[in-house]
Amino acid sequence: MSDSVVDSGVPVGGRVTVRADEVVKNFVSGNDTLRILRGVSFGIPAGVSVAITGRSGSGKSTLLNILGGLDRCDGGKVFVAGEEITALPEKALAAYRSRKVGFVFQFHYLLKDFTALENVMLPSYIAGMKKRDALDRARALLSDVKLDDRVGHYPSQLSGGERQRVAVARSMVNDPDIVLADEPTGNLDPDNSAIVAELLFAGAEKWGKTLLVVTHDENLAGRASARYTLEKGQLLEGPPPASSGLPDGALACPPGGKPEDGGV
């Protein structure tokens, strides 16, 4: 029996893009074992946007990395578009990351010697798409994020908000099954955060993508169709309780309880 089971709300026969079954992740530090994820289970329907919040170190990024094939879990299974990614060998896992997942990180990770257009088109070109088709798709996605007039600019010529908008466009260029966003507005001022959030969710809706965002940004999390909180290795439905008296993600121990091991 898992410590944490979240009902996906998918009707019988409904299509689920992401499913996690009893996912466990531990980190060993010296003689201590930190239990980061304690049997997390959930399902995300196709085309739905989900936000996960939680205190720093609660394991949000760890969970996202496991779903994206960037990290391995120690127990349990993860299925994406019907494929068990936890069973894939490294070569197949790399292909999964390239073709089925779009990533948006807190830092944009754009290639400084390539234009905005080239940064967006490169993943699809590397994956085997014809160059002309890759360029056409990249232009369409840059238009979606309101950067039609910046396609020939290099990252150094773009503002922080513009660079993150390029990263949003890039995340969707390979027509992935899921888009995973890890604190995508974390380095931005409030105005640019609002712009990037709008374009991220609008793009996911337009292209029919399942979107999973982990964030401390309440405004960003509030845009999602569903909200969850990761607390002490367990995924709980809804935002952190307002009655805790703590900021979003900083969750108090239950009466008489003991602090649990932290996550990363």
Listing DSSP states for 28-58 in one string gives: EETTEEEEEEEEEEEEEETT-EEEEE--TTS
Q: What is the CATH number of the domain that holds 62?
A: 3.40.50.300
Rg (CA), the chain: 19
Domain membership of residue 253 (yes or no) is no
Domain membership of residue 117 (yes or no) is yes
d(CA 155, CA 166): 9
Amino acid, res. 104: V
Q: How much is the mean pLDDT over the chain?
A: 85
What single-letter DSSP state applies at residue 243? Answer: G
86 or 263, greater pLDDT: 86
For residue 235, CA distances in Å to 11, 20, 42, 229 come to: 21, 11, 8, 6
d(CA 138, CA 104): 16
Domain membership of residue 260 (yes or no) is no
- Percent of the chain exceeding pLDDT 70 equals 86
Number of domains in the chain: 1
Domain membership of residue 10 (yes or no) is yes
Amino acid, res. 99: R
Read off the pLDDT of residues 92-130 as tens digits, 9 standing for 90 and up. 999 999 989 999 999 999 999 999 999 999 999 998 999
Region 179-187: mean pLDDT is 93
Question: Is residue 255 classed as helix, strand or coil in its secondary structure?
Answer: coil
Domain membership of residue 46 (yes or no) is yes
Report residue 9's pLDDT band, with 50, 70 and 90 as the boundaries. very low
pLDDT value at position 241?
Answer: 64
Domain membership of residue 105 (yes or no) is yes
- The torsion angles phi and psi of 161, rounded to 5 degrees, stand at -65, -40
- The torsion angles phi and psi of 255, rounded to 5 degrees, stand at -55, 130
Domain membership of residue 144 (yes or no) is yes
Domain containing 27 equals 4-238
Domain membership of residue 248 (yes or no) is no
pLDDT value at position 49?
Answer: 94
Q: What is the dihedral of CA 59, 199, 112, 160, to 10 degrees?
A: -80
Report residue 54's pLDDT band, with 50, 70 and 90 as the boundaries. confident
Question: In terms of residues, how long is the chain?
Answer: 264
- What is the Cα 13 distance to its own chain's centre? 25
Region 174-199: mean pLDDT is 93
pLDDT above 60 for 38: yes
Region 74-103: mean pLDDT is 93
What is the model's pTM? 0.83
Q: 132: Cβ–Cβ under 8 A, 6 or more apart, which residues?
A: none
Tokens encoding 110 = 């754009």
Whether the Cβ atoms of residue 243 and residue 40 lie closer than 8 Å to each other? no
Judged by average pLDDT, the poorest of 188-202, 212-226, 235-249 is 235-249
Region 140-145: mean pLDDT is 95
Region 156-177: mean pLDDT is 95
Provide the 10 A C-beta neighbour count for residue 250: 14
Q: What is the dihedral of CA 162, 167, 173, 175, to 10 degrees?
A: -120
pLDDT above 90 for 197: yes
